[in-house]
Amino acid sequence: MRVVFIGTGNVATILGRAIHGAGHSIAGIYGRDTVKTGALTNLLQARENGPIDSITAEADMYILAVADSAIESVASHLPIHQKLLVHTAGSVSINVLQKAGRNYGVLYPLQSLRKERVDIPVIPFLVDGNTPDTLTIIKDLAASLSDKVVVASDAERMKLHLAAVIVGNFTNQLYTLTADFCEKNKLPFSVLFPLIEEVATRLKESPPQSFQTGPAIRRDQATIEKHVSLLEEYPEIKNLYAIFTESIQAYHKNKR
């Protein structure tokens, strides 16, 4: 398949590498920033490049990988018509692409993508298309990149994006607050890495509720009080400690 990228950020870079690596050809890279456009053109061995309003490359799919808030306006000004245009956003409706051309869809990588990453992580894709034929083309491209391709409507994709924010961003904020707590107490945060990995990877075996352990589910009030007393200088963590302890105990209240 011949693919054009509009945008030069994390998504364009990692998706571009995955698509190039899967044997497709990158027909063009278009972006606002000449330096970034040039660099990505080299990296992906793209045939053409230029500013967004100058798209001339012929391709089977045009992938719009720009900021969520820019998708609609960029799409409506693209000098391409009757082409297949997709966006890559979790929480933007497929319908914002309606004006741009006859065929459109969504190719949303449900993963945290960072340019800096050397190897490409496993990327599940949520896909959608305005017609069955369009959807088939998008699904086929996604299937050439990943074993996990799920057809998802706007509503389903937005809910999974919300779920991704919780298990990705909120979890990462718990790591952040804990890393700071360790640093302030001169303790090595890295000693927690094996536990963090274990908790994340065992989900493949059984649902998370079956793995819950710790003082909250044991209703071990002595340990809970010791922990709270250690958090006097950390009001934000103390508040989260109370909220999560209550949440765990309420969730498992009929199980002990």
State how far the alpha carbon of 13 is from the alpha carbons of 7, 90, 98, 198, 204, in Å. 9, 17, 25, 30, 29
State how far the alpha carbon of 222 is from the alpha carbons of 227, 232, 243, in Å. 9, 16, 17
State whether residue 51 is helix, strand or coil.
coil
**Interface mask (CB under 8 A) for a copy of itself, residues 74-113, using x and -?**
-----------------x------------------xxx-
Q: Which of 22, 56, 136, 199: binder of a copy of itself (CB under 8 A)?
A: 199
Q: Which of 23, 35, 45, 191: binder of a copy of itself (CB under 8 A)?
A: 191
| Other C-beta atoms lying within 10 Å of the C-beta of residue 220 | 13
Residue 162 lies near a copy of itself (rule: CB under 8 A): yes
Residue of 90, 203, 109, 102 lying closest to 155 (CA atoms): 90
Smallest separation, CB 123 to a copy of itself (Å): 7
Query: Among residue numbers 1 through 60, which ones bind a copy of itself (CB under 8 A)?
Result: none
Taking the least distance from each CB to a copy of itself, the nearer of 131 and 212 is 212
As a whole number of angstroms, the distance between CA 113 and CA 109 comes to: 8
Query: Among residue numbers 135 through 154, which ones bind a copy of itself (CB under 8 A)?
Result: 148, 150, 152
As a whole number of angstroms, the distance between CA 61 and CA 170 comes to: 34
Smallest separation, CB 69 to a copy of itself (Å): 7
Smallest separation, CB 199 to a copy of itself (Å): 5
Taking the least distance from each CB to a copy of itself, the nearer of 35 and 195 is 195
